[in-house]
Amino acid sequence: MNRHAHVEPAWRNIGFAAATHNDGLAARLSHYRGVHRINRLSLMKITAANVSSVESRMDLFEVSPTSMWLEDYSDLKTLFDQWRAEGVEDIRSHLLAEPRRIAQCSACIRLLRVNARTLSLYGAASFEELASQLDTVLRDDMHAAHIDELEQLWSGSGRFQSQTANYALDGRRLDLLLKGVILPGHESTWDRVLVIVEDITELESAWRKLAQSEQYARGLFEQAPISLWVEDFSAIRKLLDELRHRGITDFRTFTDVHPEFIERCMREFRVLDVNHHTLSLFQAADKPTLLARLDEIFRDDMVNSFREQLIDLWDGIIFQQREVVNYSLDGSTLHIHMQFSVFPGHESTWDLVLVSLTDITARKKAEAYLEYLGQHDVLTGLKNRSFYTDEVERLRRKGVYPVTAIVLDLNTLKQANDELGHAAGDALLRRAGEVISQAIDKPMHAARIGGDEFIILMPGSDSDAGERLLENLHKLIALNNQYYTGLPMSLSMGMATCASAEGLDDMLRRADMAMYEKKREYYAAQKKR
């Protein structure tokens, strides 16, 4: 069912006994030479630039069990923009025509920060020690993988991945699976790129040694630190061949019309064997238990990814890799990096397939948290100004009109900071965030867009809906002040509505002016007391 990704390792000159065959299942492993060398950091410039307030809160970044690198690619984007202006269309050809351009790209990348796991992985005592010895860490011929990364960034996907080899400071070789993503809010500058490095040294070393003996291969399979599956896809191969004989040529369209075919294929492949790590990963007591409950592992979100796997197989792609979702037998969600490879010599039948699954759940949680930080104000829990800017542009392009906006400003924040300290001011801001969060509902969005200023965007809402929300906000503020002792919270609020995208900017200005009028009235009333 689903976990498939490109595993270039294969079995050669070794008999591999599959657990479901009484007489043993012979298979051959071809040699594995899938190390993609990479030179993406070889000329990286080191900077001691301050990390932004968002990054300074990235506790998860520091404690993540996965190696993380925070880098600045803004100079690389500038270089790419220059090349595009000069008429460059094929970045790979452009780089290969003049190899010094690869070094030029590397020189544009600046290292900002690494986490503790990175220092441990490379045997470095500090960031400064690692940064000063990058020529030791990043050496040998790694240009090919670096070109792959540059090509992926050039395509505009905002992310890249590759497989490479680095070296620890003590000389140890590290085989790595690398993935980078431009952080949300930085797509226009590339000044914050998160690079996640998975250490697959044990797996890669294992594949290089498998050819030594069948006994060693079997033991390694069972004890490998990642989940390994041996499967039989021959029934699926026959189903696909039958479709071709019926004249089907567009398999994607066929599966759009006949989604039940995907579910049938999910029932047709057979699992021949799994290793011990698979039992641990999926919380299975033993192999029979796991094999009897496969429908609990491969379900829900797996259907779409399995469909993409079948489409690749239809197109003749028998080495695959992708990220999928599986489920352990205790019901928890597992994010998996899946690699799928048809064994050499079995390309015509698909009766012997090797699948490796790497648990990337921790990495996905880290990515999700970093994405959250990129769109949210940490103090109030509301969206931040970056999200607000993007949402306004989205409304301008394809918003549901009318749109109403309510601009809010927290009164007496300066007084609280000056007289009671910034902790008291922060408490007022958090209370404002609580009130606003309680008042809104989908598809509304609320953001903190300044020190004491907030905004609520209400797509598809007219002025009457805005008035009702203002009334609700006043009630919630009154309740909040009853619950909290100390300085009362007060918000000045202004509202405006527009009927089309052409009036969006004017509507935002009118809401802002209305808020300032309420604020003047508030302080005028305060002076009379």
pLDDT digits (tens, 9 = 90+) for 179-222: 999 999 999 999 999 999 999 888 887 777 665 566 767 777 88
Which ranges in the chain are annotated with CATH 3.30.450.20? 45-203, 213-364
Percent of the chain with pLDDT over 90: 60
- Is 315 a residue whose pLDDT tops 60? yes
pLDDT recorded at residue 42 = 36
Check residue 498 and report its DSSP letter.
Answer: E
Across 43-47, 93-97, 501-505, least confident range: 43-47
Burial class of residue 103 (count of CB atoms within 10 Å of its CB; 0-12, 13-18, 19+): middle
For residue 270, how far is the Cα from the chain centroid?
31
Omega before 402 within 30 of 0, i.e. cis: yes
Compute φ and ψ for 348, nearest 5 degrees: -85, -15
- Is 8 a residue whose pLDDT tops 80? no
Question: For 213-364, CATH number?
Answer: 3.30.450.20
Q: What is the mean pLDDT of residues 296-306?
A: 84
Query: Which among 449, 329, 454 is positioned nearest to 386, based on CA atoms?
Result: 449
Q: What share of the chain is helix, strand, coil (3-state, %, to 5)?
A: 45, 20, 30
| pTM listed for this prediction | 0.43
Round to whole Å and give the CA distance between 72 and 70: 7
CB atoms within 10 A of CB 374: 17
Round to whole Å and give the CA distance between 114 and 134: 13
Which ranges in the chain are annotated with CATH 3.30.70.270? 380-528
pLDDT recorded at residue 5 = 31
Round to whole Å and give the CA distance between 509 and 440: 21
pLDDT recorded at residue 63 = 84
**Domain spanning 45-203: CATH superfamily:** PAS domain (3.30.450.20)
- DSSP calls for 159-208: EEEEEEEEE-TTS-EEEEEEEEEEPTT-TTT---EEEEEEE-HHHHHHHH
Measured CA angle at 81 (ends 76, 83), to 5 deg = 95
Query: Which among 463, 450, 448 is positioned nearest to 514, based on CA atoms?
Result: 463
Q: At the topology level of CATH, where does 380-528 sit?
A: Alpha-Beta Plaits (3.30.70)
Across 20-24, 105-109, 408-412, least confident range: 20-24
Strand pairing category for 110-114 and 403-410: unpaired
Taking only the tens place, the pLDDT of each residue in 355-414 is 999 999 888 888 777 877 788 888 998 999 989 999 999 999 988 999 999 999 999 888
Taking only the tens place, the pLDDT of each residue in 27-69 is 333 333 333 333 334 333 333 334 444 444 457 788 888 899 9
pLDDT recorded at residue 210 = 61
Specify the length of the chain in residues.
Answer: 529
Across 37-51, 99-113, 124-138, least confident range: 37-51
How confident is the prediction for the chain on average, in pLDDT? 84
For helices 100-107 and 74-85, give the axis angle rounded to 10 degrees. Answer: 140
